[in-house]
Chains A and B, each alone.
Chain A
Amino acid sequence: MKARLAALATALLLAAAAWSAALAQPAPSAALDAAFAAELATARRAAGAGCKEDAVDRLVRILCRGKLRVGVRTNYPLFAGETAQGLAGYEIDIARAIAAALGVDLVLVPVTPANRIAMLGEDRIDLTIATMGHTSLRDGQARFIRPHYYQSQTVVVGPRGRALTDFDDLAGQTICVTVGNASNAELSGHNARLMLFDSPAKLVERLSAQACQLAAQDDSFFAAAFADPAFAARYETKFGFAPVPWGMAVGREGTEHLAQLLSILSARFHRDGIFLNTAATHGIATGFLERQRSAWSGRCNSATALQDGTCLAAPLVTAVPATPWAGQVDAIEAWIEQRLGLRATLAMFKMAPAWDLVRNGAINSGLLILGVSLATPCIAVLIGLALGFGGLPLRWLAQGVCVLMQSCPVVLTLVIAAALCNHLVGITTLSGLITAIIALGLINGSYAGRAIADAVASLRADAAKRDEAPVPPHRLFREGLARAETQIGAFIINAIKGTPIASFIGVPELLNALTDTASFSAERATTYWLLLVFYTLAVLLLVPVVQALGGLLRNRASAR
Chain B
Amino acid sequence: MTAFFDALPPGFLLHLLGGVSINFWIAAIGLLLGLAVGLPLAICLASGSRWLRWAASPVTALMRAAPTFVTMYFLFQVLQAGPGGGTALSPVMTVAWALMPYAAAYIADSGADALRHWRAGSFSAALLFLPNLVRAYFVMVMSSGISAAIGVQEGISIILRQANAMGSFPQQLGVYLLGILVFGSIMQVGLLGVGALRRFAIALMLNRANRRAAAQSDLDFDGSRIDPTE
Contact for B66 among A209, A211, A536, CB less than 8 A: A536
- What residue in chain B is nearest A197 (Cβ atoms)? B80
Question: Smallest distance from the beta carbon of B194 to chain A beta carbons, Å?
Answer: 13
CA distance A419 to B163 in the complex (A): 10
- Which listed segment binds B: A11-19, A137-145, A270-278, A521-529? A521-529
* B161 near A213: Cβ-Cβ < 8 Å: yes
Q: Tell me whether B203 is interfacial, beta carbon within 8 Å.
A: no
| Chain A residues within 8 Å of B67, by CB | 497-500, 535-536, 539
A529 and B78 form a contact (CB under 8 A) = yes
Best-surrounded residue of B62, B80, B149, B188 (most CB of chain A within 10 A): B149
A197–B77 alpha-carbon span in the complex (Å): 8
Of all chain B residues, the one with the shortest Cβ separation from A416 is B176
Cβ of B153 and Cβ of A210 under 8 Å apart?
A: yes
> Which of B6-14, B179-187, B212-220 is near enough to bind chain A?
B179-187
Q: Is the CB of B70 closer than 8 A to any CB of chain A?
A: yes
Q: What's the nearest-Cβ distance from chain A to residue B175, in Å?
A: 10
Does A540 make an interface contact (CB < 8 A)?
A: yes
Q: Which of A91-99, A401-409, A431-439, A451-459 contacts B (4 or more CB under 8 A)?
A: A401-409
A500 to B72, CA, bound (A): 11
A207-251 interface bits toward B, Cβ cutoff 8 Å, 1 = contact, 0 = none: 001111100000000000000000000000000000000000000
Contacts A196-B77, A212-B151, A409-B145 given; does A497 touch B180 at CB 8 Å: no
Q: Give A113 Cβ to nearest chain B Cβ, in Å.
A: 14
Residues of B within 8 A of A498 (CB): 67, 69
Residues of chain B within 8 A (CB-CB) of A341 are none
Cα separation A161 to B9 with both chains bound (whole Å): 14
Asked whether any CB of chain A lies closer than 8 Å to the CB of B156, the reply is yes
- Give chain A nearest CB distance to B207 CB in angstroms: 27
Q: Please tell me if A104 contacts chain B, counting CB pairs below 8 Å.
A: no
Given A410, A501, A525, which contacts B142 in the complex, CB threshold below 8 Å?
Answer: A410
Contact B180 A407 (CB under 8 A): yes
- A171 interface residue, CB < 8 Å from B? no
A411 touches B156 (CB 8 A): yes
Of all chain A residues, the one with the shortest Cβ separation from B179 is A412
Interface membership of chain B positions 139-174, coded 1 if the CB is closer than 8 angstroms to chain A and 0 otherwise: 000110110111111001101110111000100110
A298 to B79, CA, bound (A): 54
| Cα(A404)–Cα(B184), bound, Å | 8
Q: Say yes or no: B149 contacts A535, CB within 8 Å.
A: no
Contact flag A531-B156 (CB < 8 Å), given A407-B180, A409-B143, A500-B67: no
Q: Is the CB of B183 within 8 A of A535?
A: no
Which interface residue of B62, B151, B172, B187 has the most chain A CB atoms within 10 A?
B151
Among residues of B, the one whose C-beta sits closest to the C-beta of A198 is B81
Residue A532 at the chain B interface, CB threshold 8 Å? yes
Q: Which of A211, A412, A536 lies in contact with B180, CB distance below 8 A? A: A412
Q: Which residue of A lies closest to B85 (CB)?
A: A198
Indicate the member of B69, B149, B179 with the most A CB atoms within 10 Å. B69
Task: Say yes or no: A407 contacts B183, CB within 8 Å.
Answer: yes
User: Is B169 touching A419 in the complex (CB atoms < 8 A)?
Assistant: yes
Q: Which residues of B contact A213 (CB under 8 A)?
A: 161, 164
With A162-B164, A498-B67 known to touch, is A409 a contact of B74 (CB < 8 Å)? no
The answer to the question of B94 belonging to the interface, with a C-beta cut-off of 8 Å to chain A, is: no
Q: Which residues of A contact B74 (CB under 8 A)?
A: 528-529, 531-532
Q: A211-B153, A407-B184, A501-B69 are in contact. Are A518 and B77 (CB under 8 A)?
A: yes
Residues of A within 8 A of B123 (CB): none
Q: Which A-chain residue is minimally distant from B148 (CB atoms)?
A: A411
B68 within 8 A of A: yes
* Contact (Cβ within 8 A) A511 B145: no
Cα A344 to Cα B224 in complex, Å, equals: 72
> Which residues of the other chain, B, contact A535 by a CB distance below 8 angstroms?
66-67, 70
A209, A404, A524, A529, most chain B CB atoms within 10 A: A524
The A450-481 residues at the B interface (CB cut-off 8 A) are none
Interchain nearest-CB distance for B167 vs A (Å): 10
Question: A211 touches which one: B145, B151, B169 (CB < 8 A)?
Answer: B151
Contact of A540 with B65 in the complex, beta carbons under 8 Å: yes
- CB pair B68–A409 under 8 Å, yes or no, is no
Chain A residues at the B interface, C-beta cutoff of 8 Å = 159, 161-162, 174, 176, 195-198, 206, 209-213, 403-404, 406-412, 415-416, 419, 423, 497-501, 503-504, 511, 515, 518, 524-525, 527-529, 531-532, 535-536, 539-540, 543
- 14 more contacts with CB within 8 A, not counting A209-B153, A498-B67, A540-B62, are A206-B151, A210-B153, A407-B183, A407-B184, A409-B142, A410-B146, A415-B160, A415-B176, A419-B163, A498-B69, A500-B73, A504-B148, A528-B78, A532-B71
